[in-house]
Amino acid sequence: MNQRERFVIAGILAAVAVLVSLDIFTDSREGVVLWHVLTEGVIGAVALAGVFYLLRGTVTLRHRLETEIENYAVLKKGADAWRLESRKYIEGLALAIDQQLTKWNLTAAEKEVAFLLLKGLSLKEVADVRETTEKTARVQSMAVYAKAGISGRSELSAFFLEDLLPPAPSDNKRA
């Protein structure tokens, strides 16, 4: 339930508690039986407990939201710092990949397809981004693979990632 609904329900319960209190006051002056006054007192107390429960929930929610906002700000600040710090490496990597694609004599369209494939897009997504047909994207990707001397997308990715990742442990070092 949202905050507005909580306040409406709390307001209704508060009104019930006030009306019950007025009724108890009137009934006690008129000499109504004690069990009736006690029953109404319990009803008023329950209404007041509901008010406090709803308001406490609102305060708790607000506190949790503020905590989450603070945590998000810290995480966002860390992510922004990482992006800023890694930007030079990413730009260098993009330049190095572009140079390799140029060495393979790829056309501008084939380079664009190669970059999109390296980003993990499917052929349909490549076609959508480039506003071409899926068949055109497939033909251009095959041209990229042929000019690079590789068999497919996984080898294309591996070509560029192989030197970036730490070497795999040798068989005799595995536990």
Here the CATH number for the domain that contains residue 130 is: 1.10.10.10
Nearest to 101 by CA among 115, 91, 80, 120: 115
| Whole-prediction pTM | 0.51
Instruction: Tell me the pLDDT of the chain averaged across its residues.
Output: 88
Q: Give domain status of residue 43, yes or no.
A: yes
Position 173 pLDDT exceeds 70: no
Number of Cβ atoms within 10 Å of the Cβ of 47 = 20
Q: Give yes or no: residues 7 and 46 share one domain.
A: yes
Q: Give yes or no: residues 27 and 66 share one domain.
A: yes
Q: Give yes or no: residues 111 and 152 share one domain.
A: yes
Token couple for 35: 């069990």
Task: Please report the pLDDT score of residue 172 as a whole number.
Answer: 55
Long-range (24+ apart) CB contacts under 8 A made by 156-161 are: 156/114, 156/117, 156/118, 157/117, 157/118, 159/100, 160/93, 160/97, 160/100, 160/118
Q: Residues in the chain, how many?
A: 175
Alpha-carbon span 106 to 111, nearest angstrom: 6
3-state secondary structure of 87: helix
The total number of structural domains that make up the chain: 2
Residue 66's domain spans which residues? Answer: 1-85
Q: Give yes or no: residues 46 and 19 share one domain.
A: yes
Position 67 pLDDT exceeds 60: yes
Q: Give domain status of residue 158, yes or no.
A: yes
Nearest to 112 by CA among 98, 122, 100: 98
Q: Give yes or no: residues 3 and 35 share one domain.
A: yes
Token couple for 50: 């509901």
pLDDT band at 144 (very low <50, low <70, confident <90, very high): very high
